[in-house]
Amino acid sequence: MPVDYAGTAGRLVLGGFFLLAGIANLVTPGSIRDHIERMREYGTPAPEAAFWCGIVLQFFGAALVLADVRADIGALCLIAFSAIATAIFHRFWQKADPIQRRISRLFFMSNVAIVGGLLLLAGRPARAQDFPVRPVKIIVPYAVGNGADIFTRVLGDELSKKWGQQVIVDNKLGSGGVLAALELKKGRGDGHEYMLGDVGILAINPAVFRKLAYDAEKDFAPVTDLLHVPWVFFTAKSGPFRTLGELIAAARANPGKYTFSSNGVGTPTFLAAELLKLRAGIDLLHVPFRDGNQMRTAAATGDITLLTTVMASARPVLDRLTPLAVTAPQRQAAYPEVPTVAESVALDLNLTAWSTLMARPDTPPAVLQKVYTDVIATLQRPEVRKRAAELGFDVGGRTPEQVRDFIRAEARTYREIVEVTKSQRDE
């Protein structure tokens, strides 16, 4: 198991040097008084406050470095401390004799040199040949047991065997994926944190929300696409409709009589149904659900006319549902009896739910390449592809550049849908 010895040594030397220097300033008799008096002599504004601010900056930076919690920020704090100290004592250098001046300048500039050199070790990302040097985290915006969550754990188990480090799946639910996105955004760019980015996080949220706490294109870097699955329109088996054409014909004859469910305005299921309404020229009443299980149960009992979900999510109530059509250009091998929307009602409606593996944009390119290569190799394993098929997914495998282009195209599609359906909102 590779260990980042250089980075560990850099952190210990850098943090330890400044921590011990700060302690020495505090415990040496008369040191605090002498420093403050000297700062007052050199004309430093509010010398007492300046001294204690410097001490706080010094200890804060040393603590971050030693604890390996944003060691890069800690090192920058120490650089700032050294630079400020150098500026404060500049007048002393002007008054001192040549030997004192040389010694003092050497002391303070060595602080900056030590920090600058060791910063590359303390906060440096792992090299590709060493990666990973600690457990790798994949942030998933779904609940435990969701199909995408299950597949991510399958992928993580395979990568754990390959890398000799644990791959941890961190389920971060809430706010339509915003919490998961922010978790990765605030993480470290050393290649040990990733996110399962989906159509909602990367294409729909930017179109729906006028104010969003992340930039889907600038804050994340694609590794590869993992999963694709089309939406399926369902209705209750006990209901009057057996085909999508029958439902659309009834809805045209009775505007506002029939209903459709979703996870809320602006969500993928909402926009898929809205696009169907738009293309078919029908009026359905929207009934939002916060809980997906309740939404599917309501459709199975006939309380809701039209349900939009993926086949895997519908399995618990599938015996009480009739699949009407799939939003893909061709029928799916896993359920070939379900026609496409185009076959059913001659409408162009191709939408899929998808998930991509996303990294921070400052992840080292060599590490990204290694992760991409290892993930692609894992996706090609027969047992992994079989598990994906059992969950109702098609596996991906695009290059990072292809994924970026794909996300941009999907974002354009959903911006158009949001504009037409007037689904944009502030939060």
CATH number at residue 366: 3.40.190.150
Residue after which a domain boundary falls, among 60, 93, 122: 122
- Flag whether 168 is in a domain: yes
- Flag whether 128 is in a domain: no
Q: Looking at residue 1, what is its pLDDT? A: 36
Range of the domain at 48: 5-122
- Flag whether 129 is in a domain: no
Whether residues 51 and 158 share a domain: the answer is no
State the pTM of this model: 0.68
Is omega for the bond preceding 132 within 30 degrees of 0, making it cis? yes
Q: Looking at residue 5, what is its pLDDT? A: 43
- Flag whether 69 is in a domain: yes
Whether 155 contacts 378, CB under 8 Å: yes
Angstrom distance (rounded) from CA 355 to CA 395: 10
Whether residues 322 and 377 share a domain: the answer is no
Helix (H, G, I), strand (E, B) or coil at 359: strand
Domain total of the chain: 3
Buried b (16+ CB within 10 A) or exposed e, 21-31: ebeebeeeeee
Whether residues 236 and 346 share a domain: the answer is yes
Whether residues 92 and 29 share a domain: the answer is yes
Whether residues 236 and 320 share a domain: the answer is yes
CATH (domain of 277)? 3.40.190.10
Whether 47 contacts 39, CB under 8 Å: yes
Whether residues 10 and 118 share a domain: the answer is yes
What is the rounded (10 degree) CA torsion for 397, 130, 135, 118? -130
- Flag whether 83 is in a domain: yes
Q: For the chain, how far is it from start to end, CA to CA, in angstroms? A: 45
Provide the 10 A C-beta neighbour count for residue 207: 22
Which pairing describes strands 136-140 and 167-171: parallel, antiparallel, or unpaired?
A: parallel
- Flag whether 131 is in a domain: no
Q: Looking at residue 111, what is its pLDDT? A: 57
Whether residues 108 and 167 share a domain: the answer is no
Whether 299 contacts 291, CB under 8 Å: no
Q: Looking at residue 72, what is its pLDDT? A: 63
Cα 350–Cα 150–Cα 172 angle in degrees, nearest 5: 90
Whether residues 150 and 175 share a domain: the answer is yes
Angstrom distance (rounded) from CA 344 to CA 357: 34
In single-letter form, the type of residue at position 417 comes to I
Helix (H, G, I), strand (E, B) or coil at 372: helix
Whether residues 113 and 9 share a domain: the answer is yes
Whether residues 271 and 314 share a domain: the answer is yes
Sheet of 221-230, strand order = 167-171, 136-140, 193-198, 352-359, 221-230, 394-395
- Flag whether 200 is in a domain: yes
Extract the tokens encoding 75.
């090192």
Whether residues 342 and 363 share a domain: the answer is no
- Flag whether 331 is in a domain: yes
Digit-by-digit pLDDT tens for the chain (427 residues) are 344 444 556 667 767 777 787 787 788 777 788 778 877 776 777 878 888 888 888 788 778 777 765 666 777 777 777 777 766 665 555 555 555 555 555 555 555 555 555 554 444 444 566 789 899 999 999 888 888 999 999 999 999 999 999 999 999 987 888 999 999 999 988 899 999 999 999 999 999 999 999 999 999 999 999 999 999 999 999 999 999 999 999 999 999 999 999 988 888 899 999 999 999 999 999 999 988 889 999 999 999 999 999 888 898 899 999 999 999 999 998 889 999 999 999 898 889 999 999 999 999 999 999 999 999 999 999 999 999 988 889 999 999 999 999 999 999 989 988 988 888 887 6
Helix (H, G, I), strand (E, B) or coil at 101: helix
Residue after which a domain boundary falls, among 122, 148, 181: 122
Q: Enumerate residues 6+ apart whose C-beta is below 8 A from 112.
A: 79, 82, 83, 86
Whether residues 363 and 342 share a domain: the answer is no
